[in-house]
Amino acid sequence: MQQRGEDLLEAARKELRDSRPLGAAHHERASRVLPRGTTRARFWEPMPIYVKKAQGAYLTDVDGRDYCDFNLGQGALVLGHAHPAVVAALEAQLERGTHFGPPTHNRIQLAELIVESVPGADRVAFVNSGTEATMGALRIARKATGRSKVGKVEGGWHGANEFVLHSFTTLSGDAARPDANLDSLGVSSVATKNVIVLPFNDERAFDRIREARDELACVIVEPVLGGGGCLPAEPSFLEGLRAVCSEIGAVLILDEVITGYRLGPRGAAGRYGVTGDLTTLGKAAGGGLPIGVICGRGDLMDETMWPASGAPGDAVFAGGTFSGNPMTMAAGVATVGELVHHAEHYRHLEELGEGLRVGLRRALCEVGAPAFVTGVGSMVGVHFCGTMPSNERDLVTTDHVAAQLLRVYLELDGFISRGLSFLSTAHTGEDVHRLVAAYERALRRLQTEGALGA
Ligand SMILES: Cc1ncc(COP(=O)(O)O)c(C=O)c1O
């Protein structure tokens, strides 16, 4: 069966390559200068979609094929592609200049919008990626507590910084006390020694945190595991983390790089009613341009980033050449302003998300496919695993061949939807119906080919 699945996958990938000759030529060219043509090859076998342009919920590739896009720049584009307000803001800034070093008015505007909307955000620091944001947040936590260790949950993704690049997909050890396993080679072993991996949606995590009370600087957690499979935290799990961090004096970092401005104007924190000491944002906050944001308690950020001594050696550094650059700030102000001040966007996103989950469950049931639908708001996951997953260990049984085949069949059919789908305000109910119908076609093809339920 395994061999049959691999053969089907190879045939589907060939179909994709053959039907997109210009894309295939781009990929061949890219492979001469980029590792395997793209550093994100894992997601896009046999080749990424080479994009010509995109507008709203739709994207066109270099072969002229249109796709309804449910990936949206890894979830960043909550307003869809090339939203008119974002384009206008970028054009206006472009005329004034793209990069100065000294700050601009729109940097203050975006910081004010974030303070207004993110629970617990008194201060804001801008960097250029989610990775830098989580890195800076960990440093603030270490400096504030004088402790060195970092707690992260199994299956949590917080970007490429050394300390959190552990146990995302490499799972081992007792479920209650997972091992810290590196997700990348080349990381210093010092990082691994300072990581405590916690079970997700499991209250035994709280005991582990208490045991480490003298050395644990912080716990970092996504309210909904995004890259780890669109798995929402149980409210009691987040509340428990909040309580136990306060109890032992550790900093709770809510990593809302995906969920910020996606799950509501106040992010997942507003939805769950749980406030982090620090919150990290990215993706949507930059309106489609590179961004990372560290925000949180004024005392924590002021004292660590600008200590009373004023000595640079006493301060946590977070920033860089392009941090808070005016183009990102312009797109961020346009996007965040639109989302925070128009509650109707979130009603629309909720309806679309719920419609997609219900439609996919019905399609899976009608086809008799052994898969489960997860998610919350405008994040929707589909999993070919044996049980309704609530943490990363439940996903160990995932049939990756079926999942890959499904993704390629959807792409052949004009839909970009990986295991985790994102919705934007530009999508319509009709787009969701069409995606459900495409899933049904793809699932029936898998069934006919004998690739389901191996
Ligand atoms: C929750 C979360 N945190 C951090 C990051 C890292 O962000 P970036 O890719 O911008 O470095 C990501 C990226 O997907 C993410 O999903």
Same domain, 326 and 206: yes
| Ligand 1 within 6 A of CB of 128 | no
Is the same domain home to 376 and 441? Answer: yes
Cα of 360 from ligand 1 centre, angstroms:
27
| Helix or strand holding residue 150 (H, E) | strand 149-153
Instruction: Find the 282 Cα to ligand 1 centroid distance in Å.
Output: 7
Domain ends where: 304, 324, 340? Answer: 340
Q: How far apart are CA 96 and CA 208, in angstroms?
A: 53
**Rounded-to-integer distance, Cα 99 and Cα 11, Å:** 47
Tell how far the Cα of 161 is from the centroid of ligand 1, in angstroms: 10
Bridge partners of residue 375, in order along the sequence: 380
The three-state (H, E, C) secondary structure of 155-189, written as one string? CCCCCCCCCCCECCCCCCEECCEECCCECCCCCCH
Indicate the burial class of 396 (C-beta count within 10 angstroms; 0-12, 13-18, 19 or more). exposed
Same domain, 53 and 147: no
Top mutation candidate among 220, 254, 257, 322 for ligand 1, by most atoms within 8 Å of CB: 257
Instruction: Tell me the one-letter amino acid at 203.
Output: E
How far is ligand 1, taken at its centre, from the CA of residue 221, in Å? Answer: 12
Q: Is residue 62 part of a domain?
A: yes
Note whether residue 363 is domain-resident.
yes
Residues 27 and 97 in one domain: no
Ligand 1 atom 14: residue of nearest CA: 159
Exposure class string for 28-67: b at 16+ Cβ within 10 A, else e? eebeeeeeebbeebeebebbbbbeeebebbbbebbbebeb
Q: Are residues 161 and 274 in the same domain?
A: yes
Q: Which helix (H) or strand (E) holds 153?
A: strand 149-153
Q: Write down the residue that tokens 């079926």 correspond to.
A: 402
Ligand 1: does its nearest atom lie under 6 Å from the Cβ of 156? Answer: no
Is the Cβ atom of 222 under 6 angstroms away from ligand 1? yes
Residue 76 CA to ligand 1 centre (angstroms)? 10
Binding site membership of 256 for ligand 1 (Cβ less than 6 Å) = no
Tens-digit pLDDT string for the chain (454 aa): 678 888 999 999 999 999 999 999 999 999 999 988 887 656 678 899 999 999 999 999 999 999 999 999 999 999 999 999 999 999 999 999 999 999 999 999 999 999 999 999 999 999 999 999 999 999 999 999 999 999 999 999 999 999 999 999 889 999 999 999 999 999 888 999 999 999 999 999 999 999 999 999 999 999 999 999 999 999 999 999 999 999 999 999 999 999 999 999 999 999 999 999 999 999 999 999 999 999 999 999 999 998 888 777 889 999 999 999 999 999 999 999 999 999 999 999 999 999 999 999 999 999 999 999 999 999 999 999 989 999 999 999 999 999 999 999 999 999 999 889 999 999 999 999 999 999 999 999 999 999 886 5
C-alpha dihedral, 252 to 75 to 129 to 273, nearest 10°: -20
Q: Would 368 be classed as within a structural domain?
A: yes
Cα separation of the two ends of the chain: 7
Are 131 and 292 within 8 A, CB to CB?
yes
Same domain? For 112 and 11 the reply is no
226 in ligand 1 pocket by Cβ < 6 Å? yes
Specify if 454 maps to a domain.
no
From 220, 258, 261, 278, mutation site for ligand 1 pocket: most ligand atoms within 8 A of C-beta: 258
pTM score of the predicted model: 0.97
- Indicate the residue among 340, 363, 387 that finishes a domain: 340
336 and 393 inside one domain: no
- Assess whether the C-beta atom of 262 lies below 6 angstroms from ligand 1: no
Domain assignment present for residue 8? The answer is yes
Enclosing domain of residue 414: 2-82+344-448
Check whether residue 324 and residue 433 sit in a common domain: no
Residue nearest to atom 13 of ligand 1 (CA): 159
Nearest CA to ligand 1 atom 2: 158
CATH number of the domain to which 230 belongs:
3.40.640.10
User: Does the beta carbon of 304 sit less than 6 angstroms from any atom of ligand 1?
Assistant: no
Query: Probe ligand 1: pick from 138, 230, 283, max atoms within 8 Å of CB?
Result: 283
**Residues 126, 261: one domain?**
yes
Asked if the structure places residue 187 within a domain, the reply is yes
257 and 169, same structural domain?
Answer: yes
